[in-house]
Chains A and B, each alone.
Chain A
Amino acid sequence: DGGITQSPKYLFRKEGQNVTLSCEQNLNHDAMYWYRQDPGQGLRLIYYSQIVNDFQKGDIAEGYSVSREKKESFPLTVTSAQKNPTAFYLCASSITKRDSPLHFGNGTRLTVT
């Protein structure tokens, strides 16, 4: 079955460390996205990519970085510059057509102490 795999499900890090969250899709979608979810705030877009080797900042990109070297993969690095990194991170993908739905992974819960 096609889908999006995020790993790991839970991640713990010490403050000051960079951490990379994995996102892999086998849906053959061109576009991929990273959203951050905080209680009571909905989802906010961090970065998105419409094609391999290209990506754009979303609404809250500060303190994050991404790469898109392969169509299937869109890893997110949470750097030490991110002031409040503890959150639930969701990766999604879609075809490049307006109104196409987003397909989400099951998320990674990152806790930084």
Chain B
Amino acid sequence: GNSVTQMEGPVTLSEEAFLTINCTYTATGYPSLFWYVQYPGEGLQLLLKATKADDKGSNKGFEATYRKETTSFHLEKGSVQVSDSAVYFCALGGTSYGKLTFGQGTILTVHP
């Protein structure tokens, strides 16, 4: 079945540091890939997505490229801010809409 593995956290960075959160997946077919973000006490929000191999999703300075050859969708940001502190989830789309498979989440804390 489908599965998603994220790098273990928590990740602690200083403001303006470079961020990478690794995500790899196992799936049959050609799934869509997503990054969601959860701020404290809130639900999840879609951060970015990619629907086919070599697509790059981007939003708010975050980027991730769908790499079919390495089955990866790593999240990157060149310069993090304190306001980026949150939990980040990588997710895999199934054959039907909405039924996503989520990774375990990575806690990011950014210090001033």
Contact = CB atoms under 8 A, between A and B. Distances in A.
Contacts, number: 65
Contacts of A95: 97
A33 B104 contact: no
A102 B100 contact: yes
B69 interface: no
B61 interface: no
Chain B contact-residue range equals 20 to 34
B96 interface: yes
B49 to A, nearest CB: 7
Interface in A42-57: 42-45, 48
A41 B102 CA distance: 9
19 contacts: A40-B105, A42-B89, A42-B102, A43-B100, A44-B102, A48-B98, A92-B43, A92-B44, A92-B98, A94-B97, A97-B97, A98-B97, A99-B93, A102-B36, A102-B44, A102-B100, A105-B43, A106-B41, A106-B42
